[in-house]
C-alpha cells in the first residue's frame, strides 16, 4: 500500500514581514536616538571640563601674581604707608597693571630718586588683559627681557572674555566698597571673572558659556597689613 506524507511548509506572508521590519526599524531608531543623546551629553560634559581646566589655569596664574601686587612698595618716604601696587591709570574692567618690588630694597614707587625703587626686574611690572583677536589672556612683562625691554606672552587661550572688578577698603571698617570698574589707591581686593564659550555640540543649545570667578586679596595693601 502506498503512503503519502503531506508537509505544511507555508512561510511568513508579505504583510507579516513588513510589520516585523517596521518594528525593527522603530527599535533601531529609538536605540540610535538614545546613543546620539548619550554621545551629545558626553561631549557637553567633556567641553565643560576643558573649559573648567582652561579657566582654572588662567585664574591660578593671575591670582598668584595679583595677590603679590604692592610687595615692598609704600607711598612716601616720610609716611611709609603701604601701596597696593595697582597702576590706576592703566587698569580698568578689561585690564590690570600691577607692580611689586621683588628685591625688597625699600623705597617709594614714584619718579626715580634717592628713595625710589628701581622696578626693573622680570615680574615687577606686569599687565594682564584680554586679546579678542586670539581669544586669549595675555601677560605683558615690562622688563622680562631686561631693563625697559618688555615681552608679551599668552597665558591661556580659548577664552571668551576677562573682566576685573575692584573692591575698596577705607579706614578701620572691614566692609568693602564696590564692586567698581576702576581701581583706586584704596583697592584691597580684585575679582577676576573669566568667561569661556563652549564649542558647539550637535543636539545641545548653541552659544553656551561658562563663567568662573576668583577673588584675590591684595595682602600688601594698607588695610590688609593693618589686620596683622
pLDDT classification of 182: cutoffs 50, 70, 90: very high
Region 27-48 average pLDDT = 71
What local confidence, expressed as pLDDT, does residue 6 receive? 55
Reduced to 3 states (helix: H, G, I; strand: E, B; else coil), residue 174 is coil
What does the pLDDT look like over 87-120, one tens digit per residue?
999 999 999 999 888 776 655 656 555 555 667 7
Q: How is the chain split into domains, by residue range? A: 46-225
pLDDT-based confidence at residue 179 (cuts at 50, 70, 90): very high
pLDDT-based confidence at residue 228 (cuts at 50, 70, 90): low
- pLDDT at residue 191 above 90? yes
Pick 221 or 182 by higher pLDDT: 182
Poorest-pLDDT segment among 72-76, 99-103, 110-114, 201-205: 110-114
**Cβ proximity of 57 and 209 under 8 Å:** no
pTM of the predicted model as reported, rounded to 2 decimal places: 0.73
> How much is the average pLDDT of 179-207?
83
Mean pLDDT calculated for residue range 52-65: 83
> What is the C-alpha to C-alpha distance for residues 174 and 27, in angstroms, rounded to an integer?
65
Q: For residues 43 and 199, what is the distance between their CA atoms, to the nearest angstrom?
A: 9
Number of other CB atoms surrounding residue 210 within 10 Å:
17
Banded model confidence at residue 160, pLDDT cuts 50, 70, 90: confident
Give strand pairing partners of 161.
Answer: 195
CB 149 within 8 A of CB 143: yes
Query: CB neighbours (10 Å) of residue 118?
Result: 13
Closest CA to 98 of 180, 192, 4: 192
What average pLDDT does range 13-26 have in this prediction?
A: 79
What is the reported pLDDT for 81? Answer: 74
CA distance 32 to 20: 18
pLDDT at residue 11 greater than cutoff 70: no
Please give the pLDDT value at position 7: 54
The pLDDT of residue 12 is 66
CB atoms within 10 A of CB 18: 11
Amino acid at each position: 500500500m502506498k503512503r503519502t506524507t503531506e508537509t505544511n511548509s507555508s512561510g511568513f506572508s508579505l504583510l507579516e514581514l513588513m510589520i516585523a521590519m517596521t518594528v525593527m526599524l522603530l527599535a533601531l531608531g529609538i536605540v540610535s536616538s538614545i546613543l546620539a543623546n548619550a554621545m551629545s551629553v558626553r561631549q557637553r560634559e567633556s567641553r565643560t571640563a576643558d573649559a573648567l581646566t582652561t579657566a582654572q589655569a588662567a585664574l591660578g596664574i593671575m591670582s598668584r601674581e595679583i595677590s603679590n601686587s604692592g610687595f615692598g612698595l609704600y607711598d612716601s618716604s616720610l609716611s611709609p604707608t603701604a601701596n597696593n601696587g595697582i597702576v590706576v591709570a592703566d587698569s580698568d574692567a578689561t585690564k590690570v597693571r600691577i607692580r611689586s618690588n621683588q628685591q625688597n630694597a625699600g623705597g617709594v614707587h614714584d619718579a626715580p630718586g634717592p628713595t625710589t625703587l628701581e622696578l626693573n626686574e622680570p615680574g615687577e611690572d606686569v599687565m594682564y588683559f584680554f586679546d579678542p583677536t586670539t581669544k586669549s589672556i595675555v601677560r605683558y612683562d615690562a622688563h622680562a627681557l631686561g631693563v625697559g625691554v618688555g615681552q608679551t606672552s599668552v597665558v591661556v587661550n580659548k577664552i571668551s572674555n576677562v573682566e576685573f572688578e575692584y573692591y575698596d577698603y577705607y579706614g578701620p571698617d572691614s566692609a568693602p566698597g564696590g564692586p567698581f570698574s576702576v581701581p583706586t589707591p584704596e583697592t584691597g581686593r580684585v575679582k577676576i571673572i573669566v568667561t569661556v564659550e563652549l564649542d558647539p555640540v550637535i543636539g545641545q543649545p548653541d552659544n553656551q558659556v561658562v563663567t568662573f570667578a576668583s577673588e584675590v586679596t591684595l595682602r600688601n595693601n594698607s588695610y590688609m597689613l593693618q589686620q596683622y
